[in-house]
Amino acid sequence: MKKYSTKTWLLTASDLEEILIQTGPNRFIDLLIERLTRGLENFDSSSLEIPIRTGFNYQAAPEGLVEFMPVHEKGKEVVLKVVGYHPHNPDLFDLPTILSNITTYDTKTGHLKTIMDGVLPTALRTAAASAVASRAMAKPGSEKLGLIGCGAQAVVQLHALSRLFPLKSIWIYDIDPKAMDNFQDRIEGLELDVNLIRSDIETIVDTVDILCTATSIGVNEGPLFEHYNCQPHLHINAVGSDFPGKLELPRNLLLESTVVPDFREQAKIEGECQQLQDTEIGPDLKQLISQPITWKTIQKGMSVFDSTGWAYEDQIVANLMEELGRALGVGQGIHLENVSSDVKNPYHFISKPVQV
């Protein structure tokens, strides 16, 4: 009988930080962009099951949600991310808006293979997805980037896009002036030679080549803007729409653009695609990346990447984190599951009879 490992590889938040330190942030994000691109090019729907995420949302203050994002790669593993979205966390509890963890399971045995923080991987894979989409859809050589919403996601969006585009000016806006005040400090470690410009939403939309919207706008409070006179090649990574009724972009702009969702069925429920009919939605991300012949046409016009967050991206970043962690000796194996030499005796640990 074949013996399987009974240890679960644990990667804490500090472990993941150490992986990035030892690997280097630039090298890591480059690897992640490469892995995601290759994964999309070789995506096999016959071997992957990825349902729409589900969970619980609650409107009583402080409102939020907890969702479950699974992916099943047949014959190999199940990856499950549990993610909480609570927009009032930074102000009320000094916590990130998004908190999460990722677990992976061996489908041969059900054994819990790994468990890791999901906050940092989620931020990184979201930014990597925007970079992959932008490379296919944005004007090559784009130099002007707009960031509406200057929270944690804005930092990694800037980082990932800077690896593919020769960015020179970064136009920023946030409803919270403090987020703009300290944005320069938060990107200091990226060592980017860029000009940071504070502006208003309308000016940013009308000026930049690539725009990332990553806001916590409330349900039924959108869009962020109505009027626009943007560049004919404007590409938008719409990251903040992740809940039914939550929208960042005006419908008219979507209708003038090629709209590419990360996960079509999910985006129709809680992405910008809520506003569109099926015939008004373009190819999804995996279709786009597998058909580079279409990129030049899309790059000439306006385009939108409707990024709601896809469990396949979680699988890719989780596997990369585990691979690098084991190679670097970061993390630890723990006995989390109750497995004994006598698998038919749940009381194997009791050395004498129990008196009742």
pLDDT, average across residues 108-117 = 96
Total Cβ atoms within 10 A of residue 113: 19
**Which range (14-18, 51-55, 96-100, 209-213) has the least confidence?**
96-100
Enclosing domain of residue 147: 139-309
Q: What is the CATH number of the domain that holds 16?
A: 3.30.1780.10
pLDDT at 352: 66
Which residue, chain included where needed, has tokens 């499950």?
A: 80
- Separation of alpha carbons 300 and 240, rounded Å: 25
Residue 189 lies in a domain: yes
- Separation of alpha carbons 271 and 254, rounded Å: 12
Are residues 22 and 165 located together in one domain of the fold? Answer: no
Q: What is the CATH number of the domain that holds 150?
A: 3.40.50.720
Whether the per-residue pLDDT at 293 is higher than 80: the answer is yes
Residue 125 lies in a domain: no
Amino acid at 341: S
Residue 96 lies in a domain: yes
Q: What is the average pLDDT score of the chain?
A: 94
Are residues 146 and 264 located together in one domain of the fold? Answer: yes
Prediction pTM value:
0.94
Are residues 149 and 297 located together in one domain of the fold? Answer: yes
pLDDT digits (tens, 9 = 90+) for 236-267: 999 998 778 889 999 999 999 999 999 999 99
Total Cβ atoms within 10 A of residue 168: 13
Residue 63 lies in a domain: yes
pLDDT digits (tens, 9 = 90+) for 18-55: 999 999 999 999 999 999 999 999 999 999 999 999 99
Are residues 65 and 161 located together in one domain of the fold? Answer: no
pLDDT at 353: 65
Are residues 44 and 148 located together in one domain of the fold? Answer: no
Are residues 174 and 287 located together in one domain of the fold? Answer: yes
Domain count within the chain: 2
Cβ atoms of residues 96 and 90 within 8 Å:
yes
The closest alpha carbon to 229, from 250, 215, 260, belongs to 250
DSSP helix/strand/coil, 340 = coil
pLDDT, average across residues 73-85 = 96
Are residues 80 and 113 located together in one domain of the fold? Answer: yes
Are residues 189 and 328 located together in one domain of the fold? Answer: no
Amino acid at 54: T
Q: How confident is the model at residue 1 (pLDDT cuts 50, 70, 90)?
A: low
DSSP helix/strand/coil, 8 = strand
pLDDT, average across residues 180-202 = 97
Strands 8-11, 112-117: parallel, antiparallel or unpaired by DSSP? parallel
Total Cβ atoms within 10 A of residue 269: 14
Answer positive or negative: Cα dihedral of 7, 13, 15, 19: positive
Q: 75: which strand partners?
A: none
- Separation of alpha carbons 123 and 118, rounded Å: 9
Residue 76 lies in a domain: yes
Residue 346 lies in a domain: no
| Structure tokens that stand for 193 in this block | 């030679």
pLDDT at 214: 96
- Separation of alpha carbons 99 and 85, rounded Å: 7
Are residues 162 and 283 located together in one domain of the fold? Answer: yes
pLDDT at 319: 98
Cβ atoms of residues 24 and 128 within 8 Å:
no
pLDDT, average across residues 260-277 = 96
Tally the residues of the chain.
356
Residue 353 lies in a domain: no
Residue 279 lies in a domain: yes
Are residues 182 and 264 located together in one domain of the fold? Answer: yes
pLDDT at 243: 77
Question: For residues 96 and 280, which has the higher predicted lDDT (pLDDT)?
Answer: 280
DSSP helix/strand/coil, 112 = strand
Cβ atoms of residues 154 and 123 within 8 Å:
no
pLDDT digits (tens, 9 = 90+) for 312-338: 999 999 999 999 999 999 999 999 998
Are residues 290 and 317 located together in one domain of the fold? Answer: no
Are residues 155 and 41 located together in one domain of the fold? Answer: no
pLDDT at 165: 98
